[in-house]
Chains A and B, each alone.
Chain A
Amino acid sequence: RKEVEQDPGPFNVPEGATVAFNCTYSNSASQSFFWYRQDCRKEPKLLMSVYSSGNEDGRFTAQLNRASQYISLLIRDSKLSDSATYLCVVNIGSGGGADGLTFGKGTHLIIQP
């Protein structure tokens, strides 16, 4: 089983719709979770951290389900500019080891006018 798994998509969604996608992780000791956004031929950029209680940033909501070992990202009122690849990132918190950060391969989202 891969450490961090995402549906690669693409998800084709009409503008204004709500879209959600999940990411599963294999290590139950994982402690830190992030969603990054990567535009075509650009660098990954931090979208938001994911907290245990769930958190919201404008139209974006991130949730963590430790029991089932997945995190989710919900985008409301989607905009054309939301088209990108969304990377799930999980840190297993190995006590200072920088190689504990694992990136998913990303979910490709296309918002259609």
Chain B
Amino acid sequence: NAGVTQTPKFRVLKTGQSMTLLCAQDMNHEYMYWYRQDPGMGLRLIHYSVGEGTTAKGEVPDGYNVSRLKKQNFLLGLESAAPSQTSVYFCASSYWGDGQPQHFGDGTRLSIL
């Protein structure tokens, strides 16, 4: 049972570089989410999607873009990486939104130099 899979697991970027984080889920979940987790800040929602072809902004969307072209995949893009985006990124999914627990991937550790 794969559940939620994130790639890559680790990445080091230089300021100004771009990259895409991939999240894939095999549970046929409608909702998908991208969070970042920083020390002392807890989990903060970046963007989310309520279904294929939809995206919406979360609490901290600036500097990130997302796409949900296929139901099972949710991509997070950094167009021009900044040191402030150094963080651990978690993807999650749920069958639907309110009231449903979310299932998390094992995270991507991203460092921006």
Contacts and interface: CB of A to CB of B under 8 A. Distances in A.
Interface string B69-113: 000000000000000000010100000111111111111000000
A42 interface: yes
Nearest to B4: A43
Contact of A34 (B88, B96, B101, B104): B101
Question: What secondary structure prevails in chain B residues at the interface with A?
Answer: loop
A30 to B, nearest CB: 10
Nearest to A33: B99
A23 to B, nearest CB: 12
B72 to A, nearest CB: 17
Given A99-B45, A106-B42, A94 B98 contact: yes
Interface of B: 31, 33, 40-43, 45, 48-50, 56, 58-59, 88, 90, 96-107
